[in-house]
């Protein structure tokens, strides 16, 4: 009896084992949240299928298939880093977010949100197209080189001037860092997701593209309809009122189950 207990004793977990299980489960859960609704989840499912084939090859002793898959796996880590680079950057940014710092920056966020909303509301009434990217945890420095550098305090009048029709900076994005507009006329990356909604123009595609690669909040005003949209995390929150936009800029968009007005990039 004692011998049996000794042999199966390793199955009794101690507090360290439970801690490791909780940590791994939390990491896997966060990764799945980041990948959900993106092209990466399809690639991940494909990887699972390849691993299943490899396991079957080992069980059935299919040496050629096993050798070929082992060769693929040797370079798979590097390939995965390249393919999943946007998702990995987004995941690391989310893990590194500090709620305490966000709490202390609430007053600054509120002041910036009020100025942005005032400008957006005015542009929406006049059907003036605009795209405004608000930097959060992930820096937008790599995109600023495509625009015109500015260093001006955020205010609604300046935003209205930037997006005046036919101005030199009208077609690009204005980028806000902290409480400053740091650049205007910035070219943003277009989304890599298939977009079937033909009502979404270049500004909306650029907003989606930036939201897929960073955690920025990107506000878009439609030139055709004056509708207000917010892009975040590869989703579009469309048809927002000024009050709804202000709340999202301060509190952040809903992380899960965004509701009927939120659309994935492909919808």
pLDDT in tens, 235-262: 899 999 999 999 998 887 776 444 444 5
The backbone region for 31, taken as left when phi is positive above 0, alpha when psi lies in -120 to 50, beta otherwise, is alpha
Average pLDDT of the segment spanning 102-120: 76
Cα separation, 225 vs 221, whole angstroms? 8
Cα separation, 238 vs 198, whole angstroms? 14
DSSP character for 10? Answer: G
List beta partners, residue 186: 173
Cα separation, 25 vs 19, whole angstroms? 10
Helices (H) and strands (E) in the chain, counts: 11, 8
Read off the pLDDT band of 118 (50, 70, 90).
very high
209 Cβ neighbours under 8 A, 6+ residues apart: 188, 189, 190, 191, 192
For the chain, the helix, strand and coil percentages under 3-state DSSP, each to the nearest 5: 55, 15, 30
Cα separation, 70 vs 17, whole angstroms? 30
Read off the pLDDT band of 267 (50, 70, 90).
very low
List beta partners, residue 152: 181
Cα separation, 32 vs 40, whole angstroms? 10
pLDDT digits (tens, 9 = 90+) for 216-239: 999 999 999 999 999 998 889 999
Residue with more model confidence, 108 or 145: 145
Burial string for 226-258 (b: 16+ CB within 10 Å, else e) reads bbbbbbbbbbbbbebeeeebbebbeeebeeeeb
Cα separation, 162 vs 152, whole angstroms? 12
Which whole-number Å values give the CA distances from 150 to 134, 170, 174, 183, 259, in the listed order?
14, 14, 9, 5, 36
Q: What is the pTM of this model?
A: 0.60
Cα separation, 151 vs 234, whole angstroms? 28
Cα separation, 231 vs 235, whole angstroms? 6
**pLDDT for residue 193 is more than 50:** yes
């Amino acid at each position: 009896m004692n011998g049996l207990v000794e042999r199966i004793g390793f199955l009794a977990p101690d507090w360290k084992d439970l801690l490791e299980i909780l940590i791994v489960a939390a990491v896997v859960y966060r990764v799945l949240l980041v990948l959900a609704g993106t092209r990466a989840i399809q690639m991940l499912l494909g990887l699972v299928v390849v691993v299943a084939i490899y396991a079957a090859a080992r069980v059935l002793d299919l040496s050629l298939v096993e050798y070929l898959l082992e060769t693929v796996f040797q370079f798979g880590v590097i390939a995965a880093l390249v393919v999943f680079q946007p998702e990995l950057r987004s995941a690391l940014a989310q893990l590194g977010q500090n709620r305490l710092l966000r709490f202390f920056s609430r007053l600054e966020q509120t002041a910036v949100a009020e100025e942005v909303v005032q400008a957006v509301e005015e542009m929406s009434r006049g059907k003036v197209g605009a795209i405004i990217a608000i930097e959060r945890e992930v820096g937008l420095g790599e995109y600023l080189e495509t625009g015109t550098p500015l260093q001006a305090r955020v205010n609604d009048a300046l935003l209205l001037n930037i997006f005046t029709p036919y101005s030199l900076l009208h077609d690009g994005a204005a980028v806000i860092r902290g409480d400053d507009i740091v650049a205007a006329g910035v070219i943003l990356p277009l989304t890599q997701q298939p977009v079937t909604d033909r009502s979404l123009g270049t500004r909306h595609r650029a907003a989606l593209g930036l939201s897929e690669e960073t955690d920025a909040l990107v506000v878009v005003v439609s030139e055709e309809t004056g509708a207000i949209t917010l892009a975040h995390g590869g989703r579009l929150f469309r048809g927002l009122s000024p009050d709804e936009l202000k709340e999202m800029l301060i509190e952040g968009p809903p992380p899960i189950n965004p509701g009927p007005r939120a659309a994935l990039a492909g919808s």
